[in-house]
Structure 1
């Protein structure tokens, strides 16, 4: 394929992704009333999207008070998203994680701090080498208190950086669990080239930034 054809293809994909993020169904998701997930056995749930879910799952599972992080999809307007469909950029969904945590040990505010400390907060539509709307950063709130925590953190971070934070802020609606082979991927595939070259370095960089929260 010549350079002109590649450029046309890229522009078409970019247009498709933009249309997926700017349509009535997606706008309804963004404007919806947040759904609050009830606690179970003293554990709460929080939802974050920040690039590849393999990376984000491993980061949150390194934090004290987090029992488990599950990879999946959230933020879109389609039902039953899959890895293949989300990768088209037309579902509205982003790769996300469900963080199951003990609020007596770690607060939602700290989980938000972990979120921003473990990514490039100014990168739009992706993290590191992963680009596209399915890799965009979204932070989900379930109530007004969580939304206030998020917006205050973003305002402070933008003032500190002198740049706009790329993360979108969505009312939580639904989390779709990803295919079984995506779960615990970093732990189960430590020699995978992506894990060795992207995921583990990202985890280690986060650990250096917030050693006080680590297990």
Structure 2
């Protein structure tokens, strides 16, 4: 928290603004980025796969990987029409894709219903084409279903979420059939943990992750 307050104070002096997920980062000019597409993991026996879009994938990937029963979450792109899109293309709204996360999980440990609940808690599903400082259709909220049962689960979860009155506005999450997921570039994978001191991570992602951890405390992996 102290680090975050100091950062905001320095921003007020410098007259700068918090960078968005698609903006150039201070660390990018001093490190070599691997811009080749990441390789998707093979699903293990008994494992299931789910795909969600909930804003900047750096934060969402971290949130899902905290959950007990989730083996891996991969940052990428889904929901658009362009094959093999790049980060820059998606960020410029050229492909129709949203920043997404593909989750590899054990349904015996974490049921799909719980995963959907976590998805709704991982972001604000009531803001259209926006998450915090990140604005654009690439940040829209989407739950991709792979079966009629998954679609019913998502719709029921949204109905319950709306009934809580937690937000003044209704959920605007798109519920659409899954088609294809393209993994993002290698340097985006595990970005949250690899750049703990980056301004965007400190000021935007970290508060969201900490809130998520409190809300899903009973679903988290045991710390080593």
Q: TM-score range by the shorter chain?
A: 0.7 to 0.9
2:54–2:125 Cα contact (<8 Å) kept: no
**2:158 equivalent in structure 1:** 154
How many angstroms apart in 2 are the aligned matches of 1:140 and 1:39? 18
Once residues 106 and 94 of structure 1 are traced to their aligned partners in structure 2, the CA distance between those partners, rounded to angstroms, is: 25
TM (norm. structure 1) is 0.80
Separation (CA, whole Å) in 1 of partners of 2:216 and 2:101: 20
Per the TM alignment, residue 201 of structure 1 is displaced from its structure 2 partner at its CA by 0.9
> What is the distance in 2 between the residues matched to 1:205 and 1:68?
21
Return the alpha-carbon distance in structure 1 between the equivalents of residues 143 and 205 of structure 2.
20
Matched, 1:48 2:86: no
For residue 51 of structure 2, give the secondary structure of its aligned residue in structure 1.
strand
Structure 1 residues 120 and 199, CA, compared in 2 at 3 Å: closer, same or farther?
same
Question: How many angstroms does 1:119 deviate by?
Answer: 1.2
1:123-202 to 2 correspondences below 5 Å: 123-161=127-165, 163-202=169-208
Structure 2 residues not aligned, in runs of 5+: 1-41
Q: Which runs of 5+ in 1 are unaligned?
A: 1-37
Aligned to 1:23: none
- How far does the alpha carbon of each residue in 1:110-162 deviate from its partner, in whole angstroms, 9 at most, with x for none? 01000111211211102111110001110100000000000111122223226
**1:50·1:126 contact (CA, 8 Å) conserved in 2?**
no
Q: Which residue of 2 aligns with 1:204?
A: 210
For 1:39 and 1:130, the matched residues in 2 are separated by 31
CA contact (8 A) 1:73 1:95 kept: yes
Once the two structures are superposed, the pairs formed by residues 26-105 of structure 1 within 5 Å of their partners are 40-105=44-109
- Secondary structure, counterpart of 2:160 in structure 1: helix
After TM superposition, which residue ranges in structure 1, 4 or more long, deviate above 3 angstroms?
none
Which structure dedicates a bigger proportion of its chain to helix?
1
Secondary structure of 1:195's aligned partner: helix
Alpha-carbon offset, residue 181 of structure 1: 0.4
Q: 1:166-195: per-residue Cα shift (whole Å, max 9, x none)?
A: 111110000000000000001111111111
The one of 119, 123, 130 equivalent to 2:123 is 119
What is the DSSP-based 3-state SS (H/G/I as helix, E as strand, rest coil) of the residue aligned with 2:207? helix
Q: Does the CA contact (< 8 Å) of 1:89 and 1:133 recur in 2?
A: yes
Indicate if the aligned counterparts of 1:76 and 1:91 stay in contact, CA closer than 8 A: yes
Q: Which whole-Å CA distance do the structure 1 matches of 2:51 and 2:140 have between them?
A: 14
Matched, 1:107 2:104: no
